[in-house]
Structure formats: structure tokens, C-alpha cells
Amino acid sequence: MDFELDDDHRALQHELRNFAEKEVAPGAEERDHAGRVSDELKTKLAEMGLFGITIPEEYGGAGMGCVASSIVVEEISRACAGTGVLISAHNSLCVEPILLFGSDEQKQKYLPKLASGEWIGCLALTEAGSGTDMGAAVCRAEQKNGGWEINGNKIFITNGGDASLVVVLALTDPEVKKSRRLSFFIVEVDTPGLTIGKLEKKLGIRCSTTAEHIFENCCVPEQNLLGTRGKGTSQALATLDGGRIGISAQALGIAQACLDESARYANTREQFGQTLGRFQAIQHKLADMAVGIAASRELVYRAAWLKDTGGDFSYTGAMAKLFASETSSKCANHAVQIFGGYGYCEDYPAERLLRDAKITEIYEGTSEAQRMVIARGVLAAAEANWESVV
């Protein structure tokens, strides 16, 4: 079994690591306080081709797959988790559904702008009364005057304050069974009737904008229906399956940053006449972090490889999301403990890493939801003599 990255992926990883260390990491604390990614950094990310990493070359992208995208998100998140999710949400939650379900006309119209970074994309899924239970959505799209009129509110939209394009999940057929009530729409953010509302003040990933979108008689053309009417639920689930790999890569990057910072500190901080790294209690924490990260990395890149090769990645992606996110939080807690009192202060990175890590257990499917997906896979496999899991 070959678990090595190929030459192209190794080159991408090397290039991204150098870029992240030079251009992303130095401003992480400043971005955390400012609550935004600067236009200057967005331009640099665009020039690196990171907003089009999975978009085919015919639309101006790099034409690479999920393994490449995971490398991008891990390396950028290692330097700044908020910047990492800016890229992840753009690619997995906006670009991906257009690639999967969009018409040729929609792809030609929108993908070049998304690939170049001229436009940043987002997904409007969550409402006040519908999160994990997306079928409870009440944001409504009705056919009027040869198009669609959208009314309702969406919240917790990652990239919602930066985006020029939003994919919206809306109720189109309230009288049919729950699984056929919803549809996807492409909406340009400057469309009349769409207003960016509240920007959330968050515990972590503060430079990633998390916004409310308010739709009031927001009219879009008939051709902005994305995919098939009534298939929004299945389309959203397919989108989130891929998105979870992106968040698992973000969690992996955060966890790696925790280990890197902790090891450096343990090698320089002295107590009782020796460095912290000489104490067995500290060594055990570092060892536990390293093992969790190594296991997470295998899950993340196996899920990405399955997606790239056309395999069933939903089960493995859920495992990657669950394990990597919980590993990230454990590593962040260990990092704060290793830094001691300094770990609780903003002068050192441990407290930011702790704040950033927690969200990976919540968004794009909570840990509880991932356990449900995994358990269903295990139970289904038991009926098939485990063939669907191995």
C-alpha cells in the first residue's frame, strides 16, 4: 500500500508551506484582532491559484483534486485557521456544488471568476430553526415573473461577509415529502433584495467572516436554479460530504501548529534547571499529540484519495472529520498546558489555537452528526459482512 504523495502533490505541499510561513503566519494575530483577511492577502492567495485549485483548467483553475485541496487547507490552516477556512469554504461549499450540479452555462459564467479569486463564494444553508436538521428550513423560493423570488434569513454563513456569490438552499415545494422540498439556487450577492446582516463575533477563526444573509423579495432568473428542483437536500448532503474533508484538513493544520509551537517552547523554556522537554509529563503530551496527528492525517488523505478516485468517501470522510477535529481540540488543550500561564495570554499562539480548534467539532456537521453517519455505516456493513466498510 502506497501512502506517499506523488511528486506533484509534494511540490504543492512544499510551495504552500513556504508561502504560508512567509505570507500567512506572520499576520495571524493581527487578523485575529481585526476580524478579517486583508485584501492584500486575498490577492496573494488568488495569485497562488488557491481559489481555483479544484476548478478545471478550461475555466481558469488548476484542475487538481481533493488531495491537493486538502494540502492547501492543511498548510494554510497551520499558519492561520481563519484564512484556511476562507479557502476551504469557497472551494468545497460554493465551487463544488456548481461543479457537481451546475449547467454548462452556469459553469462558464461563474467558475472563471471563482477560480481567479475575483469572486469569493459561500453556502447559505443554516437558519435559526434548521442546522443539522436542514429539512426544517423555511427560507422560501417561489416562481414569479419568469424567475424565482427568495424570502427568508440564513445565518452562520462562512465567508458570508466576503462573498460575491452564494449558493442558497431554499424551500420550493412545501407540500411534498421532506426530502423533496428544497432546492439549490445561485445568487449574486449584489442582487437587489439580498442584504448582508449581522456579522458574528466569534470565539475563534475570527478573521473568517460569519454572516447573516437576509432575502427580501430577492429575484433571480429561472436559470439560477442549481441542479434539479426538489433535489436540494441530496445536493446539500453531497456538498457537505466533501466539505467535511476540507474541515478535517483545517483541523489537522491546527493540530500540527499546536505540536510545532509546543515542541519549540518545550525546547527553550527552562524550569528546575532543565528544559520542559526533559520532563516526562511534557514528553507524554507531545507524544499523544504526534500520534493523534499522524492518525488524523491518514484518515484525512484517505478520504481525499477516495473522493479523487471515485470511491465512496462519505463514511471515511465522517471518520476523518470526527477524529481530526477532536484531535485538534485535544492538541490545543495540551499546548495551553505546556505553555502554562503564557498559554493563557494573547502574547503566545496557544490561546488562539485553542479558540480556533473548537469550531472544527461543530461546523459542517457536528461530532455527534459524524458519529451517526459512522454508526449507520457500521450497521450497514454488518448486514453485508463488513464488505462496505473495509
Q: 240-383 has which fold? A: Butyryl-CoA Dehydrogenase, subunit A; domain 3 (1.20.140)
Per-residue model confidence (pLDDT) at position 1: 60
Which CATH number among 2.60.40.1170, 2.40.110.10, 1.10.3720.10, 3.40.190.10 corresponds to the domain 122-232?
Answer: 2.40.110.10
Per-residue model confidence (pLDDT) at position 179: 86
Query: Which pLDDT band holds residue 178 (cuts at 50, 70, 90)?
Result: confident
Strand 182-188 relative to strand 194-199, pairing? unpaired
7-120 — its CATH code?
A: 1.10.540.10
* Whole-number Å distance between alpha carbons of 356 and 341: 19
What average pLDDT does range 314-325 have in this prediction?
97
Whether the pLDDT of residue 381 is over 90: the answer is: no
Using CB atoms within 10 Å of the CB of residue 106, give its burial: 0 to 12 exposed, 13 to 18 middle, 19+ buried. middle
Domain ranges of the chain: 7-120, 122-232, 240-383
Query: Which pLDDT band holds residue 210 (cuts at 50, 70, 90)?
Result: very high
User: DSSP secondary structure string, 24-91?
Assistant: IGGGHHHHHHHTS--HHHHHHHHHTTGGGTTS-GGGTS----HHHHHHHHHHHHHH-HHHHHHHHHII
Do the domains 240-383 and 122-232 match in fold?
A: no
Whether the pLDDT of residue 384 is over 90: the answer is: no
Query: Which pLDDT band holds residue 389 (cuts at 50, 70, 90)?
Result: low
Query: Which pLDDT band holds residue 382 (cuts at 50, 70, 90)?
Result: confident
Whether the pLDDT of residue 390 is over 60: the answer is: no
User: In this structure, what DSSP letter does residue 150 have?
Assistant: E
Catalytic residues: 364
Tens digit of pLDDT for each residue in 12-42?
999 999 999 999 999 999 999 999 999 999 9
Per-residue model confidence (pLDDT) at position 4: 85
Query: Which pLDDT band holds residue 313 (cuts at 50, 70, 90)?
Result: very high
Per-residue model confidence (pLDDT) at position 387: 59
What average pLDDT does range 89-93 have in this prediction?
98
Q: pLDDT: is 382 or 71 the higher one? A: 71
Taking a C-beta distance cutoff of 8 angstroms, is the pair 169, 139 a contact? yes
- Grid coordinates in use for 14? 512544499
Tens digit of pLDDT for each residue in 231-276?
999 999 999 999 999 999 999 999 999 999 999 999 999 999 999 9
User: Taking Cα atoms as reference points, which of 138, 25, 17 lies closest to residue 80?
Assistant: 25
Mean pLDDT score of the chain, rounded to an integer? Answer: 96
What average pLDDT does range 133-162 have in this prediction?
96
Q: What percent of the chain has pLDDT over 70?
A: 98
CB neighbourhood size of 291 (10 A)? 11
Tens digit of pLDDT for each residue in 45-73?
999 999 999 999 999 999 999 999 999 99
Per-residue model confidence (pLDDT) at position 142: 98
Whether the pLDDT of residue 388 is over 70: the answer is: no
What average pLDDT does range 93-99 have in this prediction?
98
What average pLDDT does range 368-380 have in this prediction?
94
Q: What percent of the chain has pLDDT over 90?
A: 94
Per-residue model confidence (pLDDT) at position 78: 98
* Whole-number Å distance between alpha carbons of 220 and 307: 32
